[in-house]
Amino acid sequence: MFQVKKGAHMAVLLGCILYGMTGLFLASIHNLPIASIIFYRLFFGLIFIFTYLLVTNRLGELRPGKRKFRLLLQGIFVMVNMFFYFQCVKETCFSIAILLEYTAPIYVMMASPFILKENIGKESIAALLLAIAGVYLVIQPEGGFGTLEFSGNHFTGIATGLFAGMVLAVIIMNVRVLKRDHSEFAIAFWSTAISCLLMLPFAFETPFSLLAPNLFTLAVFGIVSVGIGGVLTTIGYANLQSQTGSLLALIEPVAGVFFDLVFLGVSHSAGTLAGCILVLAAALLISYSGSSKSSIAHADYLENTESY
């Protein structure tokens, strides 16, 4: 599907732009609980990945290698991340939720030198500072943080969004470790399959009369975001330093705000738009600085993850 060494940066960018369409799909899904939406999104994405591998005669890639427990954890992390992310969308709005989730580079930057033995470059630090400033502008309530009430739905949404960001950081770093023993398709398939299995009880809580009108939208949603977007981002995360991958993924909130504004007519404050510009600048900076290093030596990766 993708020339990995040449296209890892672009894989993350394209995958996250597809993720950025989540708000459009959620706006078209009616009367379904969050858990049901998550399950069917995973289910249709999983069917797409399996069908692609079947048609291209690549099912052999799904044979699990070492670190099976990490693969199981990846599926659990994906499910937890989606649950808290969608909960944040419900309590706030899509644009704020997506930017809160993408505080992940902050946690990756702090943890990757110890967990993955990755060095922190000057460009990564500069991009991180821009991203933090952008997120601050987006989540800042009208009148400043002094007016924020630490109760109610708004605070719940902020808290769940930040937690989703922490879990996303774990997902990104875990992909780097799993890549040593599994193909990108295997990582994407099994993490999706495990998450889908864990969410199976919620598949039957929605009456078919409510599910039927939403099935087509759910199918497209799963194929676009989990099937295509999930595979592309996995390819990118597996073949880039985790810091680079997480910072490039900041293109998703910008795409989300764009889709909100253009297709849903959601108005945003000047602070939100300014924050988006800073986040986009961070993604461009790390992408540009990483373009000269786009082929990360696979031997270096193996050396850095040998102990895992």
| pLDDT band (50, 70, 90) for residue 48 | very high
Task: Read off the tokens for 118.
Answer: 């990755």
Mean pLDDT of 217-227: 96
pLDDT of residue 141: 58
Q: In whole angstroms, what is the distance from residue 175 CA to residue 168 CA?
A: 11
pLDDT of residue 95: 63
74 and 194 Cβ atoms separated by less than 8 Å: yes
| pLDDT band (50, 70, 90) for residue 296 | very low
What's the whole-number average pLDDT of the chain? 82
| pLDDT band (50, 70, 90) for residue 132 | confident
Q: What angle do CA 72, 76, 81 make, to 5 degrees?
A: 145
pLDDT of residue 40: 94
pLDDT of residue 290: 58
Per-residue pLDDT at 193 exceeds 90: yes
Q: What angle do CA 292, 295, 297 make, to 5 degrees?
A: 125
Per-residue pLDDT at 262 exceeds 80: yes
- For residue 8, which amino acid is it? A
Mean pLDDT of 124-134: 83
Mean pLDDT of 169-179: 93
Comparing CA positions, the residue from 262, 236, 91 lying closest to residue 172 is 236
Count: domains in the chain = 1
Question: Bigger pLDDT: 83 or 194?
Answer: 194
161 and 101 Cβ atoms separated by less than 8 Å: yes
Q: In whole angstroms, what is the distance from residue 156 CA to residue 93 CA?
A: 12
Task: Read off the tokens for 4.
Answer: 């990995």
- The contacts of residue 125 (CB under 8 Å, 6+ apart) are 109
Q: In whole angstroms, what is the distance from residue 205 CA to residue 32 CA?
A: 10
Q: Coil, helix or strand for 297?
A: coil
pLDDT of residue 85: 86
Question: Bigger pLDDT: 178 or 290?
Answer: 178
Longest Cα–Cα distance in the chain: 58
pLDDT of residue 305: 45
- For residue 24, which amino acid is it? L
Per-residue pLDDT at 119 exceeds 60: yes
**Which domain, by its residues, includes 232?**
4-305
Task: Read off the tokens for 179.
Answer: 């890549």
- For the chain, the 3-state helix, strand and coil shares in percent, each to the nearest 5, are 80, 0, 20
Per-residue pLDDT at 1 exceeds 50: no
Question: Bigger pLDDT: 121 or 178?
Answer: 178
Mean pLDDT is lowest, of 43-47, 50-54, 262-266, for 262-266
Q: In whole angstroms, what is the distance from residue 211 CA to residue 74 CA?
A: 28
Radius of gyration of the chain (CA): 19
Per-residue pLDDT at 68 exceeds 90: no
| pLDDT band (50, 70, 90) for residue 275 | confident
Q: In whole angstroms, what is the distance from residue 253 CA to residue 173 CA?
A: 20
Q: What angle do CA 18, 161, 218 make, to 5 degrees?
A: 40
pLDDT of residue 291: 53
Cα dihedral sign for 3, 179, 69, 247?
negative
Question: Bigger pLDDT: 132 or 152?
Answer: 132
